[in-house]
Amino acid sequence: HAAECTDIVRHGDKPALAALIAKARLAGETERAALFNAADAARRPYYGKNVYFRGLIEFTSYCKNDCYYCGIRAGNRNARHYRLTAEEIWACAAKGYALGFRTFVLQGGEDPWYTDARICEIVSGLKERHADCAVTLSIGEKSFESYKRYYDAGADRFLLRHETANDAHYRLLHPPELSLAHRKQCLYDLRAIGYQVGAGFMVESPGQTDETLAEDFLFLRELQPHMVGIGPFVPHHDTRYAGLPTPTADFTLVLLSLLRLMLPKVLLPATTALGTVDPLGREKGLRAGANVVMPNLSPVTHRKDYMLYDNKICTGEEAAECLQCLSRRIASAGFIPDFGRGDHADRVE
């Protein structure tokens, strides 16, 4: 069946993709195992058994947007907020560098306090201190010119999940001032500028169907991103989706495999959300075709204030503790922790 799956994810039209996704959702143990093995084999020629470590620095929990699913949305009066100064960000990175990290992800809400000049200063300062490191930004929607400035300041990669490639579904999850068209434009701008680009979506978000997922696959096939971040939607208690059931890891694992078969060279994280819904979620994700993990380097004093969803793991651990825990777990699962830059197979210098 794996060859047939591969053919559909690479060449199938929307109905064929939706039918495949529907079938994969209901697959039994044997079929799932075959799918995971095929995905594991698909990345081998490019990345072997390596798992790339990225140091995540969550530098601001302020956000001007009000995405309906997110715990740090602007309208959440209960959220506690923090911002890291450039010095604090560099200190996190220096700690990460000493632990072996050679790539850092600077993630935050859309926070206008960080003007382009400030972002550029943070990025170029980081590159000056650690010239051998890759810097990834994950700071939301900006203009082409802003993205270009960050790139010229030294940013190498950009993560911006598209969240869903279906218009009606996008509007269900976001307030009217946000649009899928603009989101997609941002991703195309980032690609045109030269970034390694990451898109992605939540799994089992409210309103998601096999059809909207088929559209996600079609969009990703067209965009050909270097990275795709997916993880289960986890309800946050201060959002309109409070009380919805938390999904299991199962469907995310199947989708990780299908994404790996569609984009064999893609860098695919086993996300924190996956580890949140299942204590062995990240290991299972790696076995299903993922090859990236993003341990948290944010200061422990602020971790609990970057709660996008409930019960987020690793919010009490120091960077070093998390790193040791995760690298041990990854090695026992049969993978090789890799602290290098971990560029996309087509972008290795």
Judged by the rule CB under 6 A, the positions of this chain that interact with ligand 5AD are: 69-70, 161, 163, 202, 231, 233-234, 236, 273, 308-309
The closest of 253, 272, 256 to 264, measured between CA atoms, is 256
CB of 296 to ligand FES, least distance (A): 7
Identity of the residue, 163 or 189, whose beta carbon is nearer to ligand 5AD in the bound complex: 163
Which partner from the list ligand FES, ligand 5AD, none does 325 bind, CB cut-off 5 to 8 Å by kind? Answer: ligand FES
Nearest residue (CB) to ligand FES, 250 versus 317: 317
Number of residues that bind ligand FES (CB under 6 A): 6
Of 296, 274, 283, 262, the residue nearest 99 (C-alpha): 296
Say which DSSP state 300 is in. H
Q: Say if CB 259 and CB 202 are below 8 A apart.
A: no
Q: What share of the chain is helix, strand, coil (3-state, %, to 5)?
A: 45, 15, 40
CB closer to ligand 5AD out of 202 and 297? 202
Within residues 308-327, the interface with ligand FES by CB under 6 A covers: 314, 317, 322, 325-326
Decide which of ligand FES, ligand 5AD, none touches 281; Cβ closer than 5 to 8 Å per partner kind: none
Find which of ligand 5AD, ligand FES, none residue 326 binds, CB within 5 to 8 Å per kind.
ligand FES
Q: Give whichever of 208 and 276 is closer to ligand FES, judged by the CB atom.
A: 276
Residue 39 or 173 with smaller CB distance to ligand 5AD: 173
Nearer to ligand 5AD, 1 or 304 (CB): 304
Q: What is the number of helices (H) and of strands (E) in the chain? A: 14, 9
DSSP string of 10-78? HH--HHHHHHHHHHHHT--HHHHHHHHHHHHHHHHHHHTTEEEE-EEEEEE---S---TT-TT-TT-TT
Nearest distance from C-beta of residue 296 to ligand 5AD, angstroms = 13
Phi-psi group of 245: left, alpha or beta (phi > 0 → left; psi -120 to 50 → alpha; rest → beta): beta
Nearer to ligand 5AD, 6 or 205 (CB): 205
Min CB(222)–ligand 5AD separation in Å: 20
CB of 5 to ligand 5AD, least distance (A): 25
CB of 237 to ligand FES, least distance (A): 22
Residue 308 contact partner, candidates ligand FES, ligand 5AD, none, CB within 5 to 8 A by sort of partner = ligand 5AD
Residue that the structure tokens 């047939």 belong to: 4
Q: Report what 161 binds from ligand 5AD, ligand FES, none; CB cut-off 5-8 Å by kind.
A: ligand 5AD
CA angle 167–173–179, rounded 5-degree value: 45
What is the torsion angle, in degrees rounded to the nearest 10, for the CA atoms of residue 95, residue 98, residue 99 and residue 103?
Answer: 80
- Shortest gap between Cβ of 276 and ligand FES (angstroms)? 11
Q: What is the SS3 assignment for 285?
A: helix
Sorted by sequence, the CB contacts under 8 Å of residue 7 that are 6+ apart come out as none
Q: Which of ligand 5AD, ligand FES, none lies near 292, with the C-beta cut-off 5 to 8 A by kind?
A: none
Burial class (CB in 10 A: 0-12, 13-18, 19+), 87: exposed
Closest by CA position to 316, among listed 334, 292, 299: 299
CA dist., res. 64 & res. 254, Å (int): 34
Residues numbered 266 to 295 that lie near ligand FES (CB under 6 A) are 295
The entry of ligand FES, ligand 5AD, none near residue 84 (CB within 5 to 8 angstroms by kind) is: none
- Per CB under 6 A, residues contacting ligand FES are 295, 314, 317, 322, 325-326
